Amino acid sequence: MVGMWISLLFIPKQIWFILIAFVIWRILDITKPFPANIAEKLNGGLGIMLDDIIAAIYSLTITHIIIYLFF
């Protein structure tokens, strides 16, 4: 839930933008780009939450770039 919330920060609340942010976040959450792959190895729930947050920050950045360039 936190990952999706961060992915949608300052993004216009239109269904297409929400879907774009969700798909990008899920892809990044599954593939675990650096440093999310390292953060995931932390003990307990901290690693699980931290890798979601890192993927969400990447997703937020990519979604903003897509909106800026194409809309």
Domains in the chain: how many in total? 1
What is the residue range of 59's domain? 2-8+16-70
Which residue, among 31, 33, 25, has the nearest Cα to 1 in the 3D structure?
Answer: 25
Q: What pLDDT, on a 0 to 100 scale, did the predictor assign at position 40?
A: 85
> What's the whole-model pTM score?
0.89
Q: For the chain (length 71 residues), average pLDDT per consecutive 10? A: 93 95 95 90 89 95 96 90
User: Rounded CA gap, 67 and 65, in Å?
Assistant: 5
Peptide bond into 33 cis (omega under 30): no
Q: Find the length of the chain.
A: 71
The token duo for 34 is 């650096």
pLDDT score of 1: 87
Q: Output the pLDDT for position 43.
A: 87
pLDDT confidence of residue 34? 92
